[in-house]
Amino acid sequence: MFEEIDDNLQDDFEVSSTQRDNDFAQALLAGLSKKKKSIPCRFFYDGRGSELFEEITRQPEYYPTRTETAILRACAPEIAQGTPSGAVLIEFGSGSSLKTELLLTALDKLHAYVPIDISHDALAEAKARLSKKFPRIAVRPIAADFSRPVKLDPDLAKRSLLGFFPGSTIGNLEPDAAIDLLKTMRRVLSPEGRLIIGADLRKDEKRLLAAYNDEAGVTAAFNRNVLMHANRALGTHFDPDRFEHSATYDSEHGRIDMHLVSARSQTVRVLGHDIHFKKGERIHTEHSHKYTIEGFQALARKAGWSPDKVWTDPDRLFSVHELRCP
Ligand code: AVI
């Protein structure tokens, strides 16, 4: 499968799986040695974690994915109208590039699509599928960590650039880190680019809590999978059944707080260290920030962007923003 994309796969910042496991080991030990234990949410996404996330998006309570998809379907023609022919679409953390198809269908005069993702497999699959479906658009994947500034090939960099960052992944970052990421994206897309970015909105607490505590228990499995990921990748000895899923809403900060709660007093061997958990002790695993439209635009301005259009659904559950390099 790799051969298909090897020709023009730009691989400047490839992160090997060994590097990723080393990063995981360091972060896990550091996070579990703190008084308030934590595991960074980026470690949710091993192969199984990505599958579970896909399953979350199909749960009736998890409104963000289907709402954003409907918004993108509706606003794609308007986005296309403002995009000159010969432009380049750059997607940050493209994964399976499913929502991208909505834009590619509308952007019929696009020169190239550049998916940026850490996973070679996801890039190869996306390139094969999209090249077939959109033969006039050149698919030029970059295997990289999108939170670092990527350098585009000069033939692409000189064109009109349109960035795409759907999914409200920005909400999983603390506001300062979100500003840093928005600055990095601005550097990639400057001097005249635009960014289309999804941000989940603040809303009725009941609806938010339901989305992160689905009846079928898929979010709970996704949360616990971070421990299985550690067992598989690092040889730790967590028993995930001894940790309970918790997702609460912090209305002061406007964010969902996810934790794993130790169901009993227990000691777990982690990378040569005995880590003790009291009964009821919590491991913080994720924040999912919810924004008001104005709050998100203020954040974007702090990163040097000029907010332009905003699209939302009739129930104002989710927002899609157009940001411009000033
Ligand atoms: C990927 N991200 C935007 C999801 C969210 O809603 O914050 C991750 C997730 N966590 C639990 N459910 C979904």
Q: Is the CB of 223 under 6 A from ligand 1?
A: no
* pLDDT score for 10: 54
pLDDT averaged per 10 residues in sequence order, the chain, 326 residues: 41 64 95 98 93 96 97 97 96 88 94 93 93 96 91 95 98 98 97 97 98 98 98 96 98 98 97 97 98 98 98 98 96
Q: Is the CB of 172 under 6 A from ligand 1?
A: yes
User: Which protein residue's CA is at the shortest distance from atom 1 of ligand 1?
Assistant: 169
Backbone angles phi, psi at 315, to 5 degrees: -90, 5
Q: What is the pLDDT of residue 311?
A: 98
The response to whether residue 212 sits with its C-beta less than 6 Å from ligand 1 reads: yes
| Residue 135 identity | P
DSSP label at residue 202: P
Q: Whose CA is nearest to atom 4 of ligand 1?
A: 169
Query: pLDDT at position 2, please?
Result: 32
Q: What is the pLDDT of residue 98?
A: 83
pLDDT of residue 19: 83
Q: What is the pLDDT of residue 20?
A: 84
> Are the C-beta atoms of 138 and 9 separated by less than 8 Å?
no
- Residue 246 Cβ inside 6 Å of ligand 1? The answer reads no
Q: How far apart are the CA of 96 and the centre of ligand 1, in A?
A: 16
169: Cβ below 6 Å to ligand 1?
yes
Which atom of ligand 1 lies closest to the CA of 288? 7
Q: How far does residue 62's CA lie from ligand 1's centre (Å)? A: 9
Tell me how far the alpha carbon of residue 22 lies from the centroid of ligand 1, in angstroms: 24
Q: Each residue of 90-132: pLDDT tens digit?
A: 999 988 778 999 999 999 899 999 999 988 888 999 999 999 9
Q: Ligand 1: does its nearest atom lie under 6 Å from the Cβ of 236? A: no
Q: Mutate which of 288, 291, 296, 317 to test ligand 1's pocket (most atoms within 8 Å of Cβ)? A: 288
Spell out where 12-99 has E strands. Answer: 88-92
Residue nearest to atom 7 of ligand 1 (CA): 288
Question: Quick check: CB of 286 below 6 Å from ligand 1?
Answer: yes
263 Cα: distance to centroid of ligand 1 (angstroms) = 24
Report whether residue 97 contacts ligand 1, using a CB cutoff of 6 Å.
Answer: no
Nearest to 164 by CA among 110, 97, 109, 108: 97
Rounded-to-integer distance, Cα 291 and Cα 298, Å: 10
- Residue 240 CA to residue 229 CA, distance in Å, equals 10
Ligand 1 site, residue 166, Cβ cutoff 6 A: no
